[in-house]
Amino acid sequence: MESSSTTQIVQSLTRAIIEHRLLPGSKLAEQKLADHFGVSRTLVRQALLQLAQQQLVTLEPARGAFVAAPSADEARQVFAVRRMLECEMARAFASQVTPAMARELRKHIAREKRAVEQDDASSRTGLLGDFHVHMAELMGNQVLARLLGQLISRCALITLMYQSSHDAVHSHDEHVEIARALAAGDGELAARLMAEHLSHVEAHLTSGRGYPSNDIRQALA
């Protein structure tokens, strides 16, 4: 019962954040949340800890929990590094691609498609990011996979908060085109498509959008 209550709190807050119903930086008061969900502050604290591990919430000693506020400048820096790494990765992948590698990418893209069609914002964000990490894994480069994972996780929240369903469909379609170029062994085309893809994602994420509420009761209603 306690586990299901914690899960409900995590899901409700996650949805409020990714649907733009809570302001970045909003304080998530434990007692207000406990009253809203009709649970103990202990369960609320457990939920907030899970959200902090997902980088949706920041926990500050003696101050409490807040909706994370990612920096657009940080996102731009991350994307600059990603372009440097991933365009070259695309060239390298194409030079060593095998039918099995191409098949694994297509399987991943199929999972992306399902998440996008179901409008599952959390799952689609994870899968769209994992596409890039999966490329490095298929190449057998675990160092690159770990580095990309860290870079992508640093802008995961800004992706969740700024990427619309339309943007997600566009990203998925671009992954399809990149995968085709990789399967064909066309490294230069794959690198160009990768650069364009990352630029498109960055342009949407850093455009900035308004948030209608930082009131917990209103946001979770």
- Map out the domains of the chain with their CATH numbers: 2-69 (1.10.10.10), 72-205 (1.20.120.530)
Query: Which one has a higher pLDDT value, 35 or 4?
Result: 35
pLDDT of 202 reads 86
pLDDT tens across 147-164, in order? Answer: 998 788 777 667 666 667
| Closest residue by Cα to residue 171 from 90, 119, 116 | 116
Q: Does residue 73 surpass a pLDDT of 70?
A: yes
pLDDT tens across 123-144, in order? Answer: 787 888 899 999 999 999 999 9
pLDDT of 50 reads 92
pLDDT tens across 198-210, in order? Answer: 999 888 775 544 4
pLDDT of 211 reads 41
